[in-house]
Amino acid sequence: MKLGFFKKKDKEPKVEFTKKWEPFVFLLPFVIGVTIFTIYPLFNVIFMAFKENFVLLTGKYTGLGLKNFELVLKDRYFIQGMQNTFRYVLIVIPISTCISIVIATLLNNKIRFMPFFQTAYFLPMVTSATAVGLAWKYMFHYQYGIVNYLLGLAGIDPIAWLTDVSSNFTALCVYGVWNMLPFTIILLLSGLQNIDKLYYTAAKVDGASTLRIFFRITVPLLLPTIFLTMVVNSISAFKVFHELFPLWSGQPGIAYNLFTVVYYIFYQFRGLTPPKYGVAAAAAVILFIVIFIFTRVQMWIQKRFDN
């Protein structure tokens, strides 16, 4: 995203185009919404994270301090959540990026049946992840799932994808990669379309092979877009959470083995009785810090490649 607001003002004679009250009226509906549902909760959650033994109903708390953060960082579910989340990001992002580079490069050719391919590759972007998650659940079924059937054809014994602790995470990653592909392919495809055709013409004149062109021209020139999509995807992968709902009926894995950072937040303020709002808030602040770092990296990449 480019920040385009540091434009030089036109040096024209000053004419009063805006009445004093106008900006106020135009902005009012927008500002009300943003204030109540983004700005206020942001500060409220940060403050809540420091309230010790906070009870939501009464609004009472025993003091301000770092106790919630201590509780979070020592909680084995949170540690598990962090590990799972980072593992998820580190597995899903490289795999989906590599597949997307190949598919985007192929789609960038002049090919027939483009509407069909576009539909096939981009449809998952517009459909409910909950509904499609249920289809995956059926495909992952231990006894009659198509995944195990296909593995069986290759001579592999059936795997209890959803009902065995050791395979849960793989199932989540497979579904995660599938989910991430459409968006990644679209971004990379538009990056490819921005590459000057001249490079390809020159390479062809020199007689370079298709593979050589791919590794020596396409990939290097696409690198900024690749980095950018990786960071953007990392941010969304870091919030992995609602994929768990269709696959394990709202549980984090078959044996509470698939906590993620966001699931942990949700669990603290919705899964526990009584809910631990302070702990949830502290975990949310940690999530915010991680995403803040990712976003800084994203801006840094953009700045570097824009110049």
Partner 1 sequence: MKTKNFIKYTILYVLLGIGAVFMIFPFFWMITGGFKTSQEIAAFPPLLFPSHFNFDNFKFALDTAPFAKYFVNSVVVTISSVSLSTLTTILAAFAFSRLEFRGRDTIFALLLALMMVPFEMIVITNYRTIINMGLLNTRLALIIPFTSSIFYTYILRNFFVSIPESLYRSAKIDGCSNWQYLWKVMVPIARPSLVTIILLNSIAAWNSFFWPMLVTNTTAARTLPFGLYAFMTEGGARNEYMMAAATIVVLPMMILFFFARKYIVTGVSKGGLKG
Say how many C-beta atoms besides its own lie within 10 A of residue 117's C-beta. Answer: 14
The one among 214, 239, 256, 271 contacting partner 1 by CB under 8 A: 239
Q: By CB under 8 A, which span of 61-69, 72-80, 95-103, 200-208 interacts with partner 1?
A: 95-103
Q: By CB under 8 A, which span of 68-76, 77-85, 212-220, 287-295 interacts with partner 1?
A: 287-295
Please, what is the minimum distance in Å from the beta carbon of residue 49 to partner 1?
Answer: 10
Please, what is the minimum distance in Å from the beta carbon of residue 202 to partner 1?
Answer: 18
The one among 226, 231, 244, 284 contacting partner 1 by CB under 8 A: 284
Please, what is the minimum distance in Å from the beta carbon of residue 167 to partner 1?
Answer: 19
Closest CA to 89 of 79, 100, 97: 97
What residues numbered 8-67 form the site for partner 1, per CB under 8 A? 10, 12, 15, 17-19, 22-23, 26-27, 29-34, 36-42, 44-45, 48, 56
Please, what is the minimum distance in Å from the beta carbon of residue 99 to partner 1?
Answer: 8
Q: Which is nearer to partner 1, 62 or 190 (CB)?
A: 190
Cα separation, 195 vs 170, whole angstroms: 36
What residues numbered 187-206 form the site for partner 1, per CB under 8 A? 187, 189-190
Cα separation, 91 vs 173, whole angstroms: 7
Q: Which position has the token pair 């490649």?
A: 305
What residues numbered 106-165 form the site for partner 1, per CB under 8 A? 106-107, 109, 111, 115-132, 134-139, 141, 143-146, 149
Please, what is the minimum distance in Å from the beta carbon of residue 23 to partner 1?
Answer: 4
Please, what is the minimum distance in Å from the beta carbon of residue 228 to partner 1?
Answer: 10
Please, what is the minimum distance in Å from the beta carbon of residue 270 to partner 1?
Answer: 7
Q: How many residues bind partner 1 (CB under 8 A)?
A: 105
Q: Which is nearer to partner 1, 31 or 223 (CB)?
A: 31
What residues numbered 264-283 form the site for partner 1, per CB under 8 A? 265-266, 269-270, 277, 280-281
